[in-house]
Amino acid sequence: MEIDHTPVMPDEVLENLLIPSGPSVMIDCTTGEGGHSSLFLERYPSLSVIGIDRDAEIQKKAIERLSVYGERFTPVLSWFNDYLASADSGMADAILFDLGISMFHYAESGRGFSFRGEETLDMRLDKDGDISAQDIVNGYSEESLADVIYRYGEERYSRRIARAVVERRQTRPFELSSDLAEVIFQSVPPAYRYGRIHPATRTFQALRIEVNRELDRISPALGEAIRVLKKGGRIAVITFHSLEDRIVKWYFRDRAAGDNPDIRIITKKPIIPTEEEIERNSPSRSAKLRVVEKVV
């Protein structure tokens, strides 16, 4: 089995997401290919991991990878916010969120997450989801499309890009990721085309977030995670862009403030990868790790 995803900040996650001795339960809310789960299962022989993912294809990889741990790994096909909302209070000793998209989705899924290939413009993590990226670029109004690109991609040329997309779809609807990437490339100023990142990067991020409602799931999931956690247990969250990190930071600050806080913040500033890790695993460069502990 080929593994595409390298877990981010493995040492830092192990160090900060404490597991009690004896039989214990960890919920890996974003299991992916099972990288972080395998680290914990290997280190803690009495630990059981509940691994949640909404993508059935990548979950198959995790199941195969973690099969050596037998019944200590339990896969669950679900959005993490939905699973946590139905889980029993106080049943977990530790909870992990890695909010990044696995390299599998860019390299193998064939669903148009990457602007560098010729793939169907889909971007759904749940193949049965209601809306695809193709539906958005072919169906949203110019104003709505520009708003999505600006809000979720923080793209300064959102209106130019949206205008170009709408003009192109009037003659031929978008089907492939490469078609959209080319229209974006041509729509932005020449100086922007050859900058630090490809000019389609932010738009593709925005579409993916809109398709999967990624940001809408975070706060509800964190609230349920605190309820599901045992007193003294910890939650670790890895984010990969400012929109995610802002939600996590302020949610934790609000819950840790006031007269009767139910968590305390362990990481006053987020932990970031070392230069050595970034050199070894470039997708980790934007990662931030925040950790809290339940106190009541």
Q: Which of 165, 190, 212 is the last residue in one of the domains?
A: 212
pLDDT at 87 over 90: yes
- Position 3 in a domain: no
Instruction: Specify the number of domains making up the chain.
Output: 2
pLDDT (mean) for 146-153: 98
Domain interval for residue 247 = 10-104+215-294
Residue 145 contacts residue 85 (beta carbons within 8 Å): no
Which pLDDT tens digit goes with each residue over 161-208? 999 999 999 999 999 999 999 999 999 999 999 888 899 999 999 999
CATH code, 191 = 1.10.150.170
Residue 9 contacts residue 284 (beta carbons within 8 Å): yes
Q: Which of 181, 197, 212 is the last residue in one of the domains?
A: 212
Within 10 angstroms of residue 147's Cβ, the number of other Cβ atoms is 17
- Position 160 in a domain: yes
Percent of the chain with pLDDT over 70: 98
What's the CA dihedral at 272, 276, 278, 282 to 10 degrees?
A: -160
**pTM (predicted TM-score):** 0.94
Q: What is the mean pLDDT of the chain?
A: 95
What percent of the residues of the chain are helix, what percent strand, and what percent coil, each to the nearest 5? 50, 15, 35
**Residue 289 sits in the same domain as residue 220:** yes
**From start to end of 22-86, where are the E strands?**
24-28, 47-53, 73-77
Which pLDDT tens digit goes with each residue over 66-75? 999 999 999 9
Q: Which of 170, 192, 212 is the last residue in one of the domains?
A: 212
**Residue 119 sits in the same domain as residue 158:** yes
